[in-house]
């Protein structure tokens, strides 16, 4: 996927143009907004595939270099998660280019853009359902105290409650409890000897 997105970028700039500045980027995007949207979507998909592939690499490398591969894997995943966010901003820039720099209309257009809708949906699903399912897995596991899972589960429950009630403080409370629960999981992971990780591989 990264190769495809890089190819798209090269093709769209082969006759000149640059995204080095905001104004030059807008000129590029207004010339071919549909193609740029495709490049953005492919870039986002590539980022997700790389992040998803990191655990597989860790499984392969863990028996011989568990700590080094973990550090490298975390950094790589974090880098591509950040890249996902950077690339997503391009949707707004395309909207700015195609809406005569009307910032309000452009922001609305970027959020309603078909390329952006799956991103928002994925965020909601991952943020709420994904967290809940992870918390449930912790509750049902035998490696970590069930309390850790209950604390992690507080995030989606409190967050939705805050949205219904209309106050952010429920989300703040849920976030604090989730952090404590994730910390408990991290402590168990850090205390697990390398030999046990290798045996589980």
Question: Rounded to the nearest 10 degrees, how much is the dihedral formed by the CA atoms of 142, 182, 164, 107?
Answer: -130
The predicted pLDDT at position 150 comes to 94
Calculate mean pLDDT across residues 18-33: 80
DSSP state of 10: H
The predicted pLDDT at position 26 comes to 80
Decide: 12 and 28 in contact? Cβ < 8 Å: yes
User: From CA 88, how far away is CA 80, in angstroms rounded?
Assistant: 12
Q: Please tell me the pTM assigned to this model.
A: 0.65
Cα-based distances in Å from 84 to 31, 40, 48, 53, 149: 23, 9, 8, 15, 28
Percent residues over pLDDT 70 in the chain: 89
| CA neighbor of 50 nearest in space, from 74, 86, 70 | 74
Q: How confident is the model at residue 134 (pLDDT cuts 50, 70, 90)?
A: confident
Q: How confident is the model at residue 151 (pLDDT cuts 50, 70, 90)?
A: very high
Is it the case that residue 37 has pLDDT exceeding 80? Answer: yes
User: From CA 26, how far away is CA 113, in angstroms rounded?
Assistant: 17
Is it the case that residue 1 has pLDDT exceeding 60? Answer: no
Residue 11: partners with Cβ closer than 8 Å, 6 or more residues away: none
């Amino acid at each position: 996927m990264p190769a495809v997105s890089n190819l798209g970028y090269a093709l769209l700039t082969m006759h000149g143009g640059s995204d080095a500045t905001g104004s030059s980027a807008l000129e590029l995007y207004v010339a071919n907004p549909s193609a740029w949207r495709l490049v953005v979507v492919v870039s986002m998909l590539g980022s997700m595939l790389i992040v998803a592939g990191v655990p597989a690499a860790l499984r392969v490398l863990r028996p011989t270099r568990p700590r080094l591969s973990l550090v490298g894997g975390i950094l790589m995943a974090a880098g591509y998660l950040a890249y996902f966010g950077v690339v997503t901003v391009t949707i707004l820039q395309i909207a700015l280019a195609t809406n005569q720099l009307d910032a309000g209309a452009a922001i609305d257009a970027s959020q309603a853009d078909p390329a952006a809708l799956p991103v928002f949906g994925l965020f909601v699903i991952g943020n709420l359902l994904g967290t809940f399912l992870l918390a449930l897995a912790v509750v049902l596991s035998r490696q970590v105290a069930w309390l850790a899972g209950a604390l992690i589960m507080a995030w989606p429950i409190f967050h939705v409650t805050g949205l219904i009630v209309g106050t952010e403080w429920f989300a703040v409370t849920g976030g604090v409890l989730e952090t404590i629960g994730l910390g408990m999981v991290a402590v168990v992971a850090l205390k697990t000897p390398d030999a046990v990780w290798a045996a589980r591989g």
